[in-house]
Structure 1
Amino acid sequence: MAPNTAHPALWPAPHASGAVDATVHVPGSKSVTNRALVLAALASEPGWLRRPLRSRDTLLMVGALRAMGVEIEETVSSSSSVAGGPDGAGEAWRVLPTGLRGPATVDVGNAGTVMRFLPPVAALADGPIRFDGDPRSYERPLHGVIDALRALGARIDDDGRGALPLTVHGSGALEGGPVSIDASSSSQFVSALLLSGPRFNQGVEVRHTGSTLPSMPHIRMTVDMLRAVGAQVDTPESGGEPNVWRVTPGALLGRDLTIEPDLSNAQPFLAAALVTGGKVLIPDWPARTTQPGDRLREIFTEMGGSCELTEYGLEFTGSGAIHGIDVELGDVGELTPGIAAVAALADSPSTLRGVAHLRLHETDRLAALTKEINELGGDVTETADGLHIRPRKLHGGIFHTYEDHRMATAGAIIGLAVEGVQIENVATTAKTLPDFPELWAGMLGN
């Protein structure tokens, strides 16, 4: 596995001289922002997104929808409800669903939500929509979406790859109905079909046939957001069949939605409190959410911290000790890199389970974490479905990121406790967390 060499710039990860004590405004959720954009584009009336995340992945989604004929107007609001705070907090995006049409070419970058959520939307467009992206995007699985759309009546040219690049020949409508897919490699296959399902003539019934289904909170997020715009969704949790989701055809409402902070992107800052024995406040942490990052409260508490959810947000405090953990992360796999980084600094071994699907993410995250932590003197071994981490005294060195934002933030966490860590291509954090180096320096008072 060769590290990225296209961006040789190295960022010296700041070393913490003492306990952190900071308030960190975390920008909006990528997962919520991109789902909200898709639902607004498919709605029967205009909608608003307030405090949207402005990052590479969300701007790719905006660009893709605009290419397909959707009008998205960006404004800066002076309203106290949306002004100030994190990047994008003063912004509002007005989405005008003006009809989907081709021909168009969509750049997905390396954004899983864009490459998986938009082919079903393209099937509803009038004309061909070509999808292309970064070289790594060609290696990420799309067969679940491609095969399902064909079964539902779409015409797709992918030269038999089951991956990008591909062209969806939109006919203005899609019949829809029942379809079976194996979403073991990505829950986004299910979400992709559910999001567009209300616009299919027969709606959609998605039956997952695989033995495992990672990242269930992301499917629950999709269902909650569909219901919030008027869709009727039957789920296993609401008394339906196991592994079956049904969406009834119907019009979607335009909404005025304020985007929650991205709780997964709060991870490195909470980890900083744990690693340094300090305290970090994340404002506006929601009391109820479907975001996977909410599980950090439980996981990092077990690893040695304590937290309190107040009217201001989440206050997390480190105890000065970091304990190993044996934890199942199948539903919250995106948290694995940050947890692995903390575990490498713990006082006892850790086992991270249920995340074999991470081998198919922005990079093979299990191989990458093993290689990079071990090259700093660590002792990490891959298992069939995760990592086993035995803490050892670490030393400085280059921490490669493989164009993966969560690898970059994992390296920064280690750098707090280990002098001389240099992060290759820290700019890759712009995928979901704009201005990470500035936020990190601000937390440390630099």
Structure 2
Amino acid sequence: MTESAVHPALWPAPLATGAVEATVTVPGSKSVTNRALVLAALAAEPGWLRRPLRSRDTLLMSAALQAMGVGIEETVSSSTTGGTDDGKAVAAAGEAWRVIPSGLHGPATVDVGNAGTVMRFLPPVAALADGPIRFDGDPRSYERPLHGVIDALRTLGARIDDDGRGSLPMTVHGGGALEGGPVRIDASSSSQFVSALLLSAPRFNQGVEVRHVGGRLPSMPHIRMTVDMLRAVGAQVDEPETGGEPDVWRVSHSALLGRDLTIEPDLSNAQPFLAAALVTGGRVTIPDWPERTTQPGDALREIFTEMGGSCELTTTPNGTALVFTGSGRIRGIDVDLGEVGELTPGIAAVAALADSPSTLRGVAHLRLHETDRLAALTKEINELGGDVTETEDGLHIRPRPLHGGVFRTYDDHRMATAGSVIGLAVPDVQIENVATTAKTLPDFPQMWAEMLGA
């Protein structure tokens, strides 16, 4: 009897039998969807989100805002198909969410799951509510840092009960408004601390001035995404890249506009499919790849090209598409991933199959993500025969012949997709709890099988 038969949670990662040739439609961006939900909930008028992502993280965000009094109506055009009605499916092509702002209020309970955007973006929103909002979540959420948001909100006038932990569970006692003003935070463990304060800042009486005072600030593209989306709904933002002080962001008090926003595909979730082209020497097309974006996943074009592929942005009748082609050879890479840390698991998986060593740097903060991603990647790749060592701020990967085995995911969606990439080239890889991919990429096993022609 196979191990997967004994343990039904194990998913046999499909082995590629040849070069992948596929077009893969990637669902909407989790990062954009959850920021858009917050901004629409704080707006002065209703707004629309079109082609939003329906995944665990975004449904948790939607449910939390509704618990605080925000109206969210879901509609699907009858002329489109796609998705399912089980609450886990990607948005159909014609799906839209109408967000109707209203007076935020408690008492309410917010389940954050293990979603960094929910646990960090919503406490500032809760401080604007009238009444107590309790935050709780998965066991791992208790271990993830939240002190940057908690301490900052207290400085800005909020009352929060967390028993001194600086983490969940906690209760925000909303007073219907927040004074705002200047605040100093150390966001070196998560750029989401900065984004959390900026997103709600237009509703603070004095706006906010956020000054980062710690070490290197990771994931800067996500802060740029926050700033761009704030400006798109009418907020005035002064940031370092537009003449402001280094590591200082200022947002003025103002009303936010309701917008009609179409969500971009999640470029980071395109990673395993692009990796499949690189690993198999095939070609994968991703429709609707934006010509300009703040998503960190856009860096894959450069990184995977350096690792042996080639890419082209092409114009189609429906917009732009990215065509990525593998050469049949995978080269190692020495790269600083500090701004795009979420791409590390997939890059590590490809690097383990390369013909030369790789060094991935600038990602010490990944130890505080859904799991300790550096430790998890080291352990799981090495248990398949690899040679990975942790460094102070990343990984050093020396390719070795790999063999089958169980690839554990630690309830981390990007570990599951990383193991699947290795399974394309290594027989008998079993992915533990592939269902964890529903956090941001619903129906991943089906999408993976369809890419392979199954």
- 1:90 corresponding residue in structure 2: 94
How far 1:84 sits from its partner (Å)? 6.1
Q: How do 1:195-234 residues align onto structure 2 when only pairs under 5 Å count?
A: 195-234=199-238
Measured in 2, the distance between the counterparts of 1:52 and 1:385 equals 34
Measured in 1, the distance between the counterparts of 2:338 and 2:95 equals 34
- 1:305 corresponding residue in structure 2: 309
Name the amino acid aligned to 1:437.
P
Match of 2:404 among 370, 392, 396: 396
Contact 2:55 2:90 in 1 (8 A): no
Name the amino acid aligned to 1:317.
T
How far 1:87 sits from its partner (Å)? 2.7
Q: How do 1:101-116 residues align onto structure 2 when only pairs under 5 Å count?
A: 101-116=105-120
- 2:4 corresponding residue in structure 1: none
Measured in 1, the distance between the counterparts of 2:132 and 2:260 equals 31
Q: How do 1:371-386 residues align onto structure 2 when only pairs under 5 Å count?
A: 371-386=379-394
- Three-state SS of the structure 2 residue aligned to 1:193 is helix
How far 1:79 sits from its partner (Å)? 7.0
Measured in 2, the distance between the counterparts of 1:205 and 1:311 equals 41
- Three-state SS of the structure 2 residue aligned to 1:309 is strand
Cα distance change of structure 1 residues 8 and 193 upon mapping to structure 2, 3 Å threshold = farther
- 1:151 corresponding residue in structure 2: 155
Measured in 1, the distance between the counterparts of 2:127 and 2:90 equals 33
Contact 1:400 1:423 in 2 (8 A): yes
2:359 aligned with 1:351: yes
Measured in 1, the distance between the counterparts of 2:108 and 2:166 equals 20
Name the amino acid aligned to 1:304.
G
- 1:132 corresponding residue in structure 2: 136
How far 1:371 sits from its partner (Å)? 0.1
How far 1:211 sits from its partner (Å)? 1.6
Match of 2:341 among 317, 333, 344: 333
Measured in 2, the distance between the counterparts of 1:91 and 1:250 equals 30
List per-residue Cα deviations over 1:384-404 (Å, max 9, x = no partner). 000000000000000000000
Cα distance change of structure 1 residues 251 and 116 upon mapping to structure 2, 3 Å threshold = same
2:125 aligned with 1:121: yes
Structural RMSD (CA): 1.1
2:253 aligned with 1:249: yes
Measured in 1, the distance between the counterparts of 2:104 and 2:352 equals 48
Contact 2:106 2:131 in 1 (8 A): yes
Measured in 2, the distance between the counterparts of 1:224 and 1:35 equals 11
- 1:3 corresponding residue in structure 2: none
- Three-state SS of the structure 2 residue aligned to 1:311 is strand
2:75 aligned with 1:75: yes
Contact 1:69 1:101 in 2 (8 A): yes
List per-residue Cα deviations over 1:95-121 (Å, max 9, x = no partner). 000110000000000000000000000
2:421 aligned with 1:421: no
How far 1:8 sits from its partner (Å)? 5.8
2:366 aligned with 1:362: no
- 1:292 corresponding residue in structure 2: 296
Measured in 2, the distance between the counterparts of 1:194 and 1:433 equals 27
Name the amino acid aligned to 2:418.
A
Q: Report percent identity of matched pairs.
A: 87
Contact 1:355 1:385 in 2 (8 A): yes
List per-residue Cα deviations over 1:267-308 (Å, max 9, x = no partner). 000000000000000000000000000000000000000000
Contact 1:8 1:424 in 2 (8 A): no
TM-score relative to the length of structure 1 = 0.97
Name the amino acid aligned to 2:75.
T
Name the amino acid aligned to 1:428.
T
- 1:43 corresponding residue in structure 2: 43
Query: Which blocks of at least 5 consecutive residues in structure 2 are unaligned?
Result: 1-6, 84-88
Name the amino acid aligned to 2:90.
D
How far 1:67 sits from its partner (Å)? 0.4
2:180 aligned with 1:176: yes
- 1:443 corresponding residue in structure 2: 451
- 2:32 corresponding residue in structure 1: 32
Measured in 1, the distance between the counterparts of 2:160 and 2:394 equals 35
Match of 2:415 among 407, 413, 432: 407
- 1:240 corresponding residue in structure 2: 244
Name the amino acid aligned to 1:375.
E
How far 1:61 sits from its partner (Å)? 0.1
Contact 2:202 2:255 in 1 (8 A): yes
Contact 2:181 2:207 in 1 (8 A): yes
2:14 aligned with 1:14: yes
How far 1:78 sits from its partner (Å)? 4.6
2:311 aligned with 1:316: no
List per-residue Cα deviations over 1:19-53 (Å, max 9, x = no partner). 00000000000000000000000000000000000
Measured in 2, the distance between the counterparts of 1:301 and 1:331 equals 18
List per-residue Cα deviations over 1:145-180 (Å, max 9, x = no partner). 000000000000000000000000000000000000
Query: Which blocks of at least 5 consecutive residues in structure 1 are unaligned?
Result: 1-6
Name the amino acid aligned to 1:230.
G
How far 1:90 sits from its partner (Å)? 2.4
Aligned residues: 438
How far 1:77 sits from its partner (Å)? 2.2
Name the amino acid aligned to 1:239.
G
Name the amino acid aligned to 2:415.
M
- Three-state SS of the structure 2 residue aligned to 1:185 is coil
- Three-state SS of the structure 2 residue aligned to 1:250 is coil
Contact 1:40 1:255 in 2 (8 A): yes
- Three-state SS of the structure 2 residue aligned to 1:330 is coil
